[in-house]
Amino acid sequence: MKKPVESAPKLELSKSMSMLEDAYRLTPGGVGGIRRPYNFVVGEYPVFITHGRGGHIFDVDGNEYIDMLCAYGPIILGYVEPEINEAVKARMDEGFCFSLVQPVQNELEERLAEVLPCGEQTIIVKTGSDATNAAVRAARAYTGRDKVARCGYHGWGDWCVEVPGGVPQAVRDLTKEFHYGDVADLERVFAENPGEIATVIITPVGHPMAAPIIPPPAGYLEKVKEVAHKNGAVLIFDEIRTGFRVAMGGAQQRYGVTPDLTTVGKAMANGYPIAAVVGKREILSVYEKLAFLSSTFFPNSLEMVAAMKCMDILEREDVQNVIWERGTRFLERLDEIVAASGVPVTKSGIPPMPFLTFDEIRTGFRVAMGGASERY
């Protein structure tokens, strides 16, 4: 019988918990979205962070942690990366929010078109949800169709949000889900909605919300592209998480399948808020007259400068290969630790995107999104 791993002493989290009580009064749920404490272990996990350095973060109670979440993906080079921050500070001294655009926008759009295999034109936005919403709108305008075939987590747009409250049923009915890795299920969606599907949007590496990560089965992405195009639909790769992480050119470069459009964000600027839609000129040109997309803050240049400098470092330091090597070693060592500990954990994913599932079902837990139990 394996000897269980002894638990570390309980963390001192009194300041975090006190601030959380104030936060419940100030904002719905105390903390927004997936950062809410019930997504972790309430009372055993920090809530408020003061700062970060490199791969470490520090909470309001003075605890220091090795950060394995990396702000849910953006921090690919570590916190407070000096080259990026210096470039941003220099731009700040010249101004960054204008009614007109700045030259760095052209430079970044050119860079993205060069790096990503699908790159012909680019639309720069702020968040992953901005990007997926803009890509889906472009596909709908281009095809003249309304329905979307989706697989994976794509943000909080009405067409894809995981929690249905506030979204009209008529809107939800326009989105049809299929299972990752199952070509027959995608074909079923087209068979049940002939001539109505505008786009297939998929995360090329399967990563449903808060669920195990699935590498693409051999030939799967090629088949998805074939089925989409055979049925007159636009293929969108949602690479908000995989872009600049699994390869400089994203999963489309790594796995050799080029979509019509792709969305990138997160690791693109090491934490600065920026994302983009990149792809075929023929499709994105709908935004010239047929469709509309605009925001006061889309043209802000601080994030563009950060993205340019981040990409410089990623290429210069061969960061993606380093991530694959370190991720491989991490997963191998993890196998040894889990085997010795007896803790019911399974791993999934790929070296740049590992995922752990604690397989003991915890009962009596109120699941905020309406389920009966969750795995931790």
DSSP letter, residue 68: S
Task: State the catalytic residue, choosing from 153, 220, 255, 287.
Answer: 153
Tokens of 66: 């090795």
- Residues 225-251, mean pLDDT to the nearest whole number: 98
pLDDT at position 44, please? 84
Q: Are 122 and 112 in contact (CB under 8 A)?
A: yes
pLDDT digit string (tens) for 105-125?
999 999 999 999 999 999 999
Length of the chain: 376
For the cut 50, the answer to whether the pLDDT of residue 273 exceeds it is: yes
Give the pLDDT of residue 35: 76
Query: Is 153 one of the annotated active-site residues of the chain?
Result: yes
Q: Which of 176, 266, 280, 309 is catalytic?
A: 266
User: What is the tens place of the pLDDT at every residue in 309-353?
Assistant: 999 999 999 999 999 999 999 999 988 988 888 888 888 999 999
Active site residue 266: yes
CA 161, CA 173: separation in Å to the nearest integer? 12
The mean pLDDT of the chain is 92
Give the list of residues 6+ apart from residue 232 with CB closer than 8 angstroms, or none: 143, 195
pLDDT of res. 257:
99
- Which domains occur in the chain, in start order? 1-67 (3.90.1150.10), 82-316 (3.40.640.10), 318-376 (no CATH)
Beta pairing, strands 147-151 & 175-177: parallel
Active-site pick, 59, 61, 67, 238: 238
Measure the CA–CA gap between 76 and 87, rounded to whole angstroms.
17
pTM of the model: 0.92
Kindly calculate the radius of gyration of the chain based on its CA atoms and give it in whole angstroms: 22
Q: How far is CA 101 from CA 30, 95, 137, 297, in A?
A: 37, 12, 23, 11
